[in-house]
Amino acid sequence: MDFHLSPETAAWREELRTFLAQELPPGFEGDDDFFDNEEQMAFAKEFTKKLGARRWFAPAWPEEYGGMGKTPVEQMVLNEELAYHRAPSGGRLFTIGITGPTLMVHGNEEQKQRFLPGMASGEVWYCQGFSEPESGSDLASMQTRAVRDGDDYVINGQKIWTSNAHVADMMMLLARTNPDVPKHKGISAFMVDMTAPGVSVQGIDNIASRHDFNQVFFEDVRVPAENLVGGVDHGWYVATTTLDFERSNIAAISGARRTVHDLIRWAKETHPGGRPWDKPGVRHKLGDLAVEAEVGRLVAYRTVWLQSKGEIPNYEASLGKIWMAMMGIKVANTGLNLLGAYGQLEPGSRWAQLQGRLRTAYLLAMSGPIGGGTSEVQKNIVAQRGLGLPRGT
């Protein structure tokens, strides 16, 4: 792997930084909860459309689908800069990072022409309908049903932990189309309009009192058969592709790097009792975090390098997922302890340090080893597909 960026990619990074300096308000620190704040949500939509108008929302996609034909590495640089500067995500992970690339692998040409341009423009946001109340790590045990009826499929069931469903326009949904075959072989994938009759969304507040998660209910929802992706009963292959793209996301690592850099800056400032940076133990802990953040960044770079060669990362993406989950916990824990009692103050509190971001990060980090596939599952993937070890009995 070549760790050097080409002159063109380096220039692209500088162009992005110039754009962000112009479009983000002075001193912009982002908002961890764009989807619960109407003002921030409006800003996120406006910002997303500005990216789309420049074809920057999905620059690595072919021009006929709304992109610029740039390389996956250049797409990664965009994602990295947006996350580092805490720019509004606009559902980027599920729309551009997951659904779009999966559709390019498994969708037919008509579906690509119909769905991809709306994603690339930043006007149509997606969510992912996978988990169910009784189907988490054992995803193939899902019970949501899709039954063919003429030119449509009729869907009934429930999804849970559906991130951003309350602001999404479309969903990539997995449903059981054949209950009489082994569970992995009877699943199909669909593109579902979230405004279709029979779709209802109920919010779930997480431990940080944020509305990221949702339950989504389907009651006799009619989905055109032309929205079936990858063929009947081939949804498991669509799902594994989707998860590989999800787990190779660089945004979490880039966000962690930004938090580490913020902590270093904060530690070098004078506070009651002196500068934390003057204590060797503080410097050592922050140095460890800086090293581990760079390691995570390089793991993500390797994953994208594989994508640039036309490969779909598998165990490499799982390695990144494990590392990102560990990093999230370690950065939040170290940061919260470094801030002391101030770290417990919530965002908006008068004396909160670093906008109260570490408190929120600490609460949310606990879900890192669970969401998107548990760390135990990821380690099994690495062991079996990466190291060639046998499956346990």
The answer to whether the CB of 174 falls within 8 A of the CB of 140 is: no
Tokens of residue 293, six digits: 């953040």
Distance separating alpha carbons of residues 314 and 385, to the nearest angstrom: 8
The rounded distance, in Å, linking the Cα atoms of 206 and 214 is 10
Q: Which residues contact 18 (CB under 8 A, 6 or more apart)?
A: none
Catalytic residue chosen out of the listed positions 74, 81, 246, 292: 246
How many C-beta atoms lie closer than 10 Å to residue 280's C-beta?
8
Label residues 69-80 b or e (16+ Cβ within 10 Å = b). ebbbbbbbbbbb
CB burial of 146-162 (b: ≥16 within 10 Å; e: otherwise) equals: beeeeebbbbbbbbbbb
109 assigned to active site: no
Are 368 and 207 spatial neighbours (Cβ–Cβ below 8 Å)?
Answer: no
Residues 333, 316: Cα–Cα separation, whole Å: 26
Residue whose token pair is 């204590």: 279
Q: d(Cα 139, Cα 161) in Å, to the nearest integer? A: 13
Q: Are 292 and 327 in contact (CB under 8 A)?
A: yes
Helix H or strand E encompassing 150: none
CA distance 277 to 202: 46
CA distance between the termini of the chain: 36
Pairwise CA distance, residues 270 & 286, whole Å: 17
Instruction: Give catalytic residue positions.
Output: 246
